[in-house]
Structure formats: structure tokens, C-alpha cells
Amino acid sequence: MSQFANYIDGQWVEGASVSRNVNPSNLDDVIGEFAQADAEQTQRAISAARKAFARWSLSTPQQRFDLLDQVGSAILARKAELGRLLAREEGKTLPEAIGEVGRAGQIFKFFAGEALRVGGEIVPSVRPGMTVEVTREPLGVIGLITPWNFPIAIPAWKIAPALAFGNTVVVKPADLVPASTWELVKIIAEAGAPAGVINLVMGRGAVVGEALVSSPDVDAVSFTGSVATGHAIGAKCFASGKKFQLEMGGKNPMVVLDDADLDVAVEACINGAFYSTGQRCTASSRFIVTEGIYDRFIDGMKTRMRALKVGDALADGTHIGPVVDDKQLQQDERYLAIAREEGGTVFGGERVERDTRGYFLAPALVTDTTPVMRINREEVFGPVASVIKVKDYNEALAVANDTEFGLSAGICTTSLKYSNHFRRHAQAGMVMVNTPTAGVDYHVPFGGRKGSSYGPREQGSYAREFYTTVKTAYVSPGVV
């Protein structure tokens, strides 16, 4: 059985215990045993990052560019192999997994450039003879806590900007999917990151994550995951004066208007709701459909859903891989049962048997729902979408915004008037027109509003808002 150690202060070190990483497409396939850190080992990683910060924070932009650029090239060169590993541990299909790895590589390339573009401002003072200079400096030690659904892209979009701007990092990947982050950290180490600049501590959230969040030696925490965990982390960070950023859940609407191109709408909805097994924070989970197109839309969806192949993530032709684990599978089924109890009609959503033991679930569409039902209010995080029938655009917009979340929102329409209005009035961090609510570029800001996010946006040039702190310097010539 392959063993995977933690990485602390430039050394691979065993954990206090190990945990098995199992392939959700085939429960007999164990990827390896991964070290589980305890609080003491996590503290050692934090101390190493603190020590390394003294030098790394003064490294030149060229040094940081070179490191990140090399990491990006190494990831891209191993895209197929790393994609296979990712599909094996998380369960998204091989093409989706290779796409995610490619994205991680491009993110490192982008932030290599950002290291050169930090810049600053010279501002004329309101006082005679004085000059004002506004610059950005790194924050210090950053604790990164990531979820299981993007095992390499999310660690990449946190690690790359943290390092680009001169911070040092302790990263804790999700307990379920440590292998992709382990490979990423190995690539960063082999590219020549000085000891302590990047540290990997794998293990349980309640142990490792908790130690990161409560340590006074961690200056900032960037978290992506569920609302409940995010709120608990935010409260602790606030109490200890840490800067923090939270990216959490979604209940993303896709509005389909009478004037939509039906094929475009069905394709956007199938992709947005069911690809990556619906396990995307940006997945469409509420289809809000006007009366005139409703019946044709439902027929089109059912026809496309029947043609979707659910199966082994690594097999050719699979459209939808397995659910990530038994707990998530039970959650998906529980929400389908709740939807039925509340009066909804469920199409699909059965467990699927395949040659291997795995967590296979057919995609599910819930009709006859109203906005108040739990299926339309709570995040399921599986291949499950519900449909709400509405009278017209105005009602559709109101229903779309009737949620505590605000990550991504979409509309399918051929009307310029409605698409413009929706872009301005959808209460979401990201708005999509005639394209799925999930699937974004790597060089522009990512994040939501309302209950989905807290703090500055991630990715693109906006990432510097979180990973740097601003200094304003006043300089007088010193002579009267």
C-alpha cells in the first residue's frame, strides 16, 4: 500500500496516524494511506511557515515568478496523469478531472505574472513637500482549508496567490481527497520552494483545521467548504483577529424564459446541474421556468437525462461519475425523500448498479415544487435539481433572488432586454447568460454574495485584496 506523508519545513514526515483514500467508483481500489497530522504536528508546520516568512517575504518578484511559472509548467506537463488520479479519488469523469488539472496549471502561470504586477501608487500629498506612497505587503502565514469537490483547482487558487505575494502557507486539504493536493505540494517542493514556504498537513478538520484556525501564529485563513464549517471558522478567526475569507454553499438558480432557445437551455441545465455529479458549488439546483416553455423544457430535460451514462469516472463515455462517498449519497437520497414528502415529483434519482461497488446515483429532476420547499432552499450538493414554474420574467427574477445564497445565477433567453436586466439585478457574485451556472475562467474574480461568501473575491487580479495588506507611507524631505 502506498504511503503519503505530510510535508513540513522541507521534510516529508509521518503523521500521528493514517487514513485510507478510497476510489468512489470502485470501493475495492485504495489509492493509498495518507498521514493524519495531530495538533502538535500542525503547530510545527505553522512554526516552519513563520520562520520561512522572514526570507520569503523579502524574495524578489522574479524569484516568485520563476517558482510559480515552473510549478504551472510541471502541472500542465502531467495533466493526463494527475487528472487520472483526481478522477480516481474524487469521482468526476476523466475529461472533467484533466480539465481541472489544466486549470490549476494555468492558475499558477497567471499568478506567476501577478507576482510581477503588484505595483503601488505615488499620491501627491495635500501637505506641501510631502509625498504619499501606497504599497502592498504580504500578510504572513496563511492557513488554507479546502473542500473535496475540486481537489487540485481550489488548493491551487489559494496557494498560488499566497506565494506570489510573498506569504508562506500551511495547507489542509479535505480529508476525503488528499492525493491531488499531495501531488501539487510535491511539485511545488521539487520546483525549489525554500523549506517552510509551503507546508502540507493532512487530517481531520476538527483536529488540523481547528489547530490552524486557533493558532496565534497564523495571520489569515482562506476557507472553502460548507456554510456551517465556514461560520464556525469565521467566528474563531474574528475572535483571534485573523483576516479571513470564506467561500461556501450555493442554491444557484437558472432561469429559462419562453423566448429561450430550447436546445441551448436544456444543454446549459443538464451541464450546470448534473456534470461533476452536481458536486459543484456553482451547480444549478433550481430551474425557474416560465409557463410557455415549461412542458417542452421538461420533455427535453427528461430525454437528455435518459441518455446520460452514469458510471466509473475513468471509463470511456461516462457522463456522470459516482457521488463522492456514502455520507453524501445518503444526503442526496434524503433530500429526494424530503422533496417527495413535500409534494414534489421525482424523475430519476435511483441508485445504479455497475460492475464495481461504487456510489452511483442517476441524476434527478424534481418537478411540482414551490419556492418554500426545502429542496429549493437548502444545498443538496448532488446530481439533483428542482423546477419551479413561474408566470413571467418578473416572477422568475424574484424567485431566483429568493434565497439566502448568492454565488452564481443564470438565465436562458434570446431577449437582450431580459438578459441585461437580469445581469444587473440577479443577486449573485457571478451571472451567466445562455451558459451553465458552473464553469468559469481562471483569470477573473470568483465568488459570491449574501450567504455564499465572506471577504474579498478569490482569483484574478482581485486575489491580491486578500493576500496582501496595504501600507500608506508619508515621506517628507526633512528640511524646512
Binding status of residue 379 toward ligand NAD by CB under 6 A: yes
One character per residue 324-363, x = contact with ligand NAD (rule: CB under 6 A): ----------------------------------------
In the residue annotation, 465 being an active-site residue is answered as no
Minimum CB distance to ligand NAD smaller for 24 or for 166: 24
Catalytic member of 90, 114, 183, 247: 247
Site string for ligand NAD, 154-193 (x = CB under 6 A): ------------------x-xx------------------
Measured from the CB atom, the residue of 171 and 298 that comes closer to ligand NAD is 171
Q: Does 403 help bind ligand NAD (rule: CB under 6 A)?
A: no
DSSP class of residue 194?
A: P
Give the strand order in the sheet containing 430-433.
Answer: 345-348, 364-367, 384-390, 284-290, 252-256, 408-412, 430-433
For the bound state, the minimum distance from the C-beta of residue 222 to ligand NAD, rounded and expressed in Å, comes to 10
C-alpha 232/C-alpha 116 separation (Å) is 36
Residues 6 or more apart in contact with residue 258 via CB below 8 angstroms: 290, 291, 292, 293
* 143 touching ligand NAD, by CB under 6 A: no
Among 213, 301, 430, 432, binds ligand NAD (CB under 6 A): 213
Nearest to 25 by CA among 327, 349, 313: 313
206 lies in the binding site for ligand NAD (CB under 6 A):
yes
What's the rounded Cα separation, in Å, for the pair 332 and 480?
73
DSSP, residue by residue, 4-52? E-EEETTEEE--SEEEEEEETTEEEEEEEEEEE--HHHHHHHHHHHHHH
Minimum separation from the CB atom of position 256 to ligand NAD (A): 23
- For residue 152, report the phi and psi dihedrals to the nearest 5 degrees: -120, -35
- Taking a C-beta distance cutoff of 8 angstroms, is the pair 134, 123 a contact? yes
Helix (H, G, I), strand (E, B) or coil at 124: strand
What residues between 450 and 469 interact with ligand NAD by CB under 6 A?
452
DSSP labels for 357-374? ----B--EEEES--TTSG
Q: What is the CA radius of gyration of the chain?
A: 23
Residue 381 binds ligand NAD (CB under 6 A): yes
Among 100, 219, 247, 332, binds ligand NAD (CB under 6 A): 247
* Residue in the structure block whose three cell numbers are 437582450: 416
Tell the smallest beta-carbon distance from residue 172 to ligand NAD (Å): 6
> In terms of CB distance, is 108 or 223 closer to ligand NAD?
223
Q: Considering the rule CB under 6 A, would residue 210 count as an interface residue with ligand NAD?
A: yes
CB of 163 closer than 8 Å to CB of 169:
yes
Stretch that binds ligand NAD, among 84-92, 131-139, 140-148, 354-362 (CB under 6 A): 140-148
Q: Which of 4, 111, 148, 454 binds ligand NAD (CB under 6 A)?
A: 148
> Contacting ligand NAD (CB under 6 A), which of 249, 321, 349, 436?
249
Sign (positive or negative) of CA dihedral 76, 88, 159, 182: negative
Please list the active-site residues: 247
Residues that bind ligand NAD (CB under 6 A): 145-150, 172, 174-175, 205-206, 209-210, 213, 224-226, 229, 232-233, 247-250, 281, 379, 381, 407, 452
